Amino acid sequence: MDKLTVTMPDLGEIGRTLILVVGAFVLIVVCWLLYNLFLHPLCHYPGPILWRATRLTWVIALQRGCLHRDLLRLHDKYGPVVRTAPDELSYIDAQAWKDIYTSRPGHAAIERGGVWFRKTRPDEPYSIMGHNEDHHARYRRAFMGAFSEKAIKDYSTLIESYVDLMMQRLRTMTTQNGGTTIDIVSWLNFVTFDISGDLSFGESFGSTSTGSPHPWVDIACRFGKGVALVASINHYAPLQKLLKYALPAKVRQKMIYHRELSAQKVRQRLQLQEQRPDFVNAVLRYNQEKAEKVTPKELELNMSVFVFAGSETVSSAVAAILFGLLEAPKAMSRVSQEIRSAFVCEQEIDVATASKLEYLTAVINEGMRLGPPSVIGVPRTVPAGGEEICGKMVPGGTFVAVNQYPAFRSATNFLEPDKFIPERFLRKQGARNNLAVFQPFLVGRHMCIGQKLAWAEMRLILARLLYVFDISWNTTPPMHDWGEQETFIFWQKKPLELRLVRR
């Protein structure tokens, strides 16, 4: 019994040790927070205490889907540059686009950080969205031919055929009832994913013809949430090994399904013998002409990126534009009149003719200003030694970004920033707005490679819809402002129930 007493742990000693460990941990955390607030190289930049002290505040806002609104609120309070984390600065200044994203003589490149769009496995190739600049440049060279002016002309018939199919389905629905109610968000997803699928894989998902989403489309529309979760975890290096456990099993299964289906469809496309104008054909031509090649694995991975990026962003933009028009009756009347007076019949509206509509172009720009397809910026990392941004030196290792939503909604940059006023983008009426800050497709090395294709689709879809139908809300709008929706780098779009009546 005495031996047992001797070998039993001293509970008092354990308690004291535990208190010391917890106390030391708390002291370290407090010292770390105080360092971030008062001694960190970024301590002189403005921002709220909790955001300056810890990255956790930023992570919580991102996971809640409200980071874009929080950033706007912070810029309204603190000005054109805000410290949004201990090691991150957010800008809404037009000069920041040039300083952060473009190549400047005598300055080192400010490259993408490795937080967003990181490789999920060591043996996985880099994608065009990744942070490796050499691979990104190589991919841009390989895919450039797929998004040239000539390529868009070659794709025109295909794009028009899917918009024709959507219009045929909608006309049939209105013929039966004299009018119809639809969720326009669903139909925009159908047509844009079908176009993107055909150009990426050589076949559509069949959603426009059936009027129902393919399972892959449904998964892709929730893609942004997973990307945001991974990015949040990547900010905490010790937690990165736990990433596979942090993601819910259903999310992991859907990611695997997305990747495997994309790879399967690319392999099927490569087996086609016909020469057809699409993304894969452009890369195959590049591989024949150039010494550097895009491997089959790299092609599979990048097609999974293009099919999503080329559809989700377009459908979100068109939905935001229609939302804005319905909240601005004068703009709706003017753009409808422009379209209807320009054409004798619907068949005259194609990719080429829709591009000539000046007010429609202004409407699209205004819609993308209020509801930018890419809502927040993917940060760059300042190189060692620091760089000058907007006239001030920023230390190396700092994440920096122009965040589109607060930049486009700031009263510093735009007159009546929350109102849908397309006239601000017309030549004679834009002087009172800082249009230089409006860069929905980014600038520099990472400028959106597919913006010409996006413009072709947006113009055609809107011109055809507004030519054929009088469009109105079917019920009370689900929100007062497009920005009320959640976003995890891409919009989590709510249904928009619209009433279509053939004119």
- Binding-site residues from annotation for heme: 448
Distance CA(378)–CA(376), nearest Å, equals: 7
Distance CA(1)–CA(332), nearest Å, equals: 91
With beta carbons less than 8 A apart as the criterion, state whether 130 and 402 touch: no
Helices (H), 327-472: 329-342, 351-354, 358-370, 404-409, 451-468
In tens digits, the chain (503 residues) has pLDDT values of 444 454 555 667 777 777 877 777 788 888 999 999 999 999 999 999 999 999 999 999 999 999 999 999 999 999 999 999 999 999 999 999 999 999 888 888 898 877 777 777 777 888 888 888 888 999 999 999 999 999 999 999 999 999 999 999 999 998 766 788 999 999 999 999 999 999 999 999 999 999 998 887 777 666 777 778 788 888 877 766 666 566 667 767 777 777 788 889 999 999 887 788 999 999 999 999 988 899 999 999 899 888 888 899 999 999 999 999 999 999 999 999 999 999 999 999 999 999 999 999 999 999 999 999 989 988 999 999 999 999 999 999 999 999 999 999 999 999 999 999 999 999 766 668 999 999 999 999 889 999 999 999 999 999 999 999 999 999 888 899 999 999 988 899 999 999 999 98
CATH 3.40.50.620 is held by the domain 54-502:
no
Residues 6 or more apart whose Cβ sits within 8 Å of residue 434: 94, 412, 413, 414
- Binding-site residues from annotation: 448
Residues 6 or more apart whose Cβ sits within 8 Å of residue 3: none
With beta carbons less than 8 A apart as the criterion, state whether 100 and 399 touch: no
